């Protein structure tokens, strides 16, 4: 539920800060690095935060340590005693079925990258239409799109498979990409961002200048929505990256697998084969690295544009 919760949380966040935005619309000076002289650091507050950080880091730390252990050390030495086999494990993983792991990594990047990018475009268009036009059926369309969040992926997997099979798309990249493009949350957010960041006057001005609707959207609206769309991209990226059920059902060829499905397969070898724990753990570590990098690089973005979107509204 990590992903779902996070996505729902995001929706709630945006709506919530808008609700709070009846307050004076002044940009608050960021307080980090601007601590007043009289402010004593509180040991208790810091300690609680560090305990929370430890709680969240502990399993990740476990992955780091465990991935340095050999197969037998994993089950015989103390959990947090590191060993020296990280490179062996990586090279074992590298050797597995001719480097298939890297193919999974590339597939995942493709599903998440392309899927999230297309999702942003589709969501931005829909969100812009819902926020900036008045037309019959608008509420109905919006409600319908939003209702998509009520139906869990497990439920949809088989009907989706059966329909995909009718058009011969199962076991192809499209089987995973197409369903990833539509994101009710993305549309919801894009509507909020469009409403908050694009003044009606500017749209009107573009029209008066004779710009077509498409041109107005692409050249005027999109750039104004851009920071918000980065957020939509990030969430959809993580959601697709972590997705399991859809690719699991859709794909039979392991050369098309994303990481989640591939790694889970290494664990589920059936009774007559040993589970490949060291490979899975090393793979899990390597698969977290790109996302962590993405977080560290883009977290700044996140903070800024969510706040900006809310304050400007």
Partner 1 sequence: MRLSTGMKAAAIIASAALLMTACSSGDGTDAPAADGPVELTFWTWAPNVDKVVETWNEANPDIQVTVNKQDGGDPAITKLLTAVKAGSGAPDIMQTEYQKIPTLVSADALADISGEVADLADQFPEGVWNDVTLGSDAVYAVPQDSGPMQFYYRADIFEQLGLTVPTTWDEYAATAAALQAADPTKYLGTFSATDAGWFTGLAQQAGASWWGIDGDAWTVAVDDEATLKVADYWGGLVESGVIDNKPMYTPEWNAALNNGTQIGWLSAIWAPGVLEGNAPDTAGLWKMAPMPQWDAADPATGNWGGSATAVTSQSKHPEQAAKFITWLNASQEGVDLLVEQTGVYPANIPASAEALSEPPTFFANQPDFYEIAAETAKTAGSFTYGPNVNVTYSAYNDEFGKATEARSQAAFTAAVEAMQKVTLDDMVSSGFTVKE
Partner 2 sequence: MTTTTPARPTAPPAVRRRRPGASRRQGAPWAFLAPAIVLFVLVLALPIAYAVYLSFRTEKVSGLGLGSGSRTEVWNGFANYAASLADPEFLASVGRVALYGVIVVPTMLGLALLFALLLDSRRSRATKFSRVSIFLPYAVPAVISSLLWGFLYLPGVSPFYYVFDRLGWDVPSLFSSNLVIFAVANIAVWGGVGFNMVVIYTSLRAIPSELYEAAELDGCTQVGMAWRIKIPIVVPSIIMTFVFSMIATLQVFAEPTTLKPLSNTISSTWTPLMKVYRDAFIRGDLYSAAATSVIIAVATFVLSFGFLRLVQSRAFGQEK
Q: 254 touches which of partner 2, partner 1, none (CB within 5 to 8 A by kind)?
A: partner 1
Number of residues that bind partner 2 (CB under 8 A): 130
Establish if 273 lies at the interface with partner 2 (CB under 8 A): no
Q: Which is nearer to partner 2, 39 or 253 (CB)?
A: 39
**Tokens standing for residue 302:** 């996140």
Residues 194-213 close enough to bind partner 1 by CB under 8 A: none
In terms of DSSP H, where are the helices of the chain? 2-19, 43-66, 73-76, 86-95, 100-132, 138-147, 153-166, 173-181, 184-197, 200-208, 213-215, 222-241, 245-250, 259-267, 277-312
276 binds, among partner 1, partner 2, none (CB under 5 to 8 A by kind): partner 1
**Contact window for partner 1 (CB under 8 A) among 136-144, 147-155, 156-164, 204-212:** 156-164
Regarding 71 and contact with partner 1 (CB under 8 A), the answer is yes
Q: Closest approach of Cβ 265 to partner 2, in Å? A: 11
Q: How far is the CB of 82 from partner 1 (least distance, A)?
A: 18
Per CB under 8 A, 84 contacts partner 1? no
Q: Does 139 bind partner 1 (CB under 8 A)?
A: no
CB of 63 to partner 2, least distance (A): 6
Tell me how many degrees the CA angle 139-145-148 measures, rounded to the nearest 5. 140
**Rounded to an integer, what distance in angstroms lies between the CA atom of residue 310 and that of residue 28?**
12
Running DSSP on this structure, what letter comes out for residue 221? I
Q: Longest C-alpha distance within the chain, in Å?
A: 75
Residues 6+ apart with CB under 8 A from 23: none
Neighbours of 144 (CB within 10 A): 11
Q: Which two tokens stand for residue 132?
A: 């900036």
User: By CB under 8 A, is residue 202 in contact with partner 2?
Assistant: no
Q: Specify the residue, 89 or 160, whose C-beta has the smaller distance to partner 2.
A: 160
Q: Which residues bind partner 1 (CB under 8 A)?
A: 71-72, 74-76, 97, 158, 161-174, 178, 248-249, 252-254, 264-265, 268-277
């Amino acid at each position: 539920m990590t992903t779902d919760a996070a996505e729902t949380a995001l929706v709630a966040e945006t709506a919530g800060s808008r609700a709070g935005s009846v307050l004076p619309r002044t940009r608050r000076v960021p307080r980090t690095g601007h601590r007043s002289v009289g402010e004593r650091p509180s040991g208790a507050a810091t300690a609680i935060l560090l305990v929370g950080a430890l709680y969240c880091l502990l399993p990740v730390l476990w992955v780091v340590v465990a991935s340095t252990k050999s197969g037998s050390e994993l089950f015989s030495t103390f959990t947090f005693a590191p060993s020296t086999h990280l490179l062996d494990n990586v090279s074992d993983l590298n050797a597995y079925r001719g480097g298939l792991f890297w193919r999974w990594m590339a597939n995942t990047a493709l599903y998440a990258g392309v899927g999230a990018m297309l999702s942003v475009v589709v969501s931005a268009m829909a969100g812009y239409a819902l926020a900036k036009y008045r037309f019959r059926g608008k509420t109905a369309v919006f409600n319908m799109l939003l209702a998509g969040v009520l139906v869990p992926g497990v439920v949809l997997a088989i009907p989706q498979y059966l329909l995909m099979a009718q058009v011969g798309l199962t076991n192809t990249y499209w089987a995973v990409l197409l369903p990833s493009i539509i994101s009710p949350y993305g549309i919801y957010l894009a509507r909020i961002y469009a409403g908050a960041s694009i003044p009606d006057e500017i749209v009107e001005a573009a029209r008066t200048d004779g710009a077509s609707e498409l041109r107005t959207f692409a050249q005027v609206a999109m750039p104004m929505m851009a920071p918000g769309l980065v957020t939509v991209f990030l969430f959809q990226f993580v959601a697709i990256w972590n997705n399991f059920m859809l690719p699991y059902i859709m794909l039979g060829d392991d050369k098309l697998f994303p990481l989640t499905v591939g790694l889970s397969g290494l664990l589920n070898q059936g009774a007559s084969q040993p589970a490949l724990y060291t490979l899975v753990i090393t793979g899990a570590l390597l698969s977290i690295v790109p996302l962590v990098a993405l977080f560290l690089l883009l977290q700044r973005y996140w903070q800024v544009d969510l706040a900006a979107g809310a304050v400007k509204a």
